[in-house]
Structure 1
Amino acid sequence: MSTTTLPTTATTEEDAKTGGGRKKLVLLLVVVLLAAGSAWWFLLRPSGEAEPEPGEVLVMDPVQVNLADGHYLSIGIALQLVEGAAHADGSKALDTTIELFSGREPDELVKVKTRHALKEQLVEELDHRYHGEVLDVYFTQFVTQ
């Protein structure tokens, strides 16, 4: 009867070690490639849209807004438009400003955080109403009584 000899366990262990080493190397290579791709995606890839350049500043006359308890706010604003924007009509900006500030408590408006939050909300709304032609809003006058 003929017998075939099976490879010794030392040979299979060596095969397992080299095969395992290759698997680890491939796994490491995949992780490095994923990390590099993620870094490129979030840090280096072109965004596709260039930041709009600031253009004309449209300064509007101050308006008086009725606040709570018979108080009022005299507020003046200026719109920072994007470069090449058509001459904007300030009526939408004044309407939005009046809507946003009307009926508020005077004590609320003297707080810096509240004023900044309201300004951010105004910029957001004007960006929407002017279809991206307004970059920022500046308060040129802000007096409560």
Structure 2
Amino acid sequence: MADDEKAATEEAPKKGKKKLIMIIAIAVVLLGGGAGGYIMLKPSSATAEKEPEPGVVVPLDAITINLADGHYLKLKLSLQATAAAAEAPDGSKALDIAIDLYSNREMAELMSNAERERLKAELKEKIEKAYTVEKEKEIMDVYFTSFVIQ
């Protein structure tokens, strides 16, 4: 009888180890499959916010803006409309925003490339916001076609 008890006690740990290995293997397969499915089915960031299709470029008339200390800026803009825009945008809002942004600035401030680029980005943001209708952007970019300081 001692031999039977000894054989039974040796088989019990083997069966317990096999069950544990099986449970771990199943958990790994399920977790791996779940992670793989999530990665394959999640929306990519590129499709979440897609850039609008470009439309017509609308050149605006040149304007003269008074700067500080008797200087002035002659500015000419073009607006890049989106294809979603129903018609070519009227530039009066964009020119008004530009006048408001650049008026009474120091000439030295506008001579700096970094500051000029920062102000252009701010101008673009304000114009895009002004020309957004029902969450549909009508303007996607702003171009300086003339920027003369005197």
TM normalised by structure 2 equals: 0.76
The CA RMSD measured in Å over matched residues stands at: 2.7
Deviation at 1:52, TM superposition (A): 2.2
Structure with greater helix share of residues? 2
Q: Which stretch shows the higher mean deviation, 114-123 or 32-41? A: 32-41
Which residue identity is paired with 1:65?
I
Map of 1:26-37 to 2, 5 A cutoff? Answer: 26-29=26-29, 30-31=31-32, 33-37=34-38
* Number of equivalent positions: 139
Q: Secondary structure at the match of 2:47?
A: coil
Unaligned runs of 5+ in 2: none
Aligned to 1:109: 110
Deviation at 1:11, TM superposition (A): 3.6
Aligned to 1:58: 58
Identity of aligned residues (%): 36
21 and 108 in structure 1: CA distance in 2 versus 1, 3 angstrom threshold: farther
Map of 1:11-30 to 2, 5 A cutoff? Answer: 11-29=11-29, 30=31
Which residue identity is paired with 1:116?
E
Q: Distance in 1 between matches of 2:23 and 2:145?
A: 66
Aligned to 2:83: 83
Deviation at 1:141, TM superposition (A): 0.6
24 and 117 in structure 1: CA distance in 2 versus 1, 3 angstrom threshold: farther
Deviation at 1:93, TM superposition (A): 0.3
Unaligned runs of 5+ in 1: none
Deviation at 1:62, TM superposition (A): 1.3
Q: Distance in 2 between matches of 1:104 and 1:39?
A: 52
16 and 102 in structure 1: CA distance in 2 versus 1, 3 angstrom threshold: farther
Q: Distance in 2 between matches of 1:48 and 1:11?
A: 57
Deviation at 1:75, TM superposition (A): 0.9
Deviation at 1:46, TM superposition (A): 7.8
Aligned to 2:145: 140
Deviation at 1:84, TM superposition (A): 4.9
Aligned to 1:124: 125
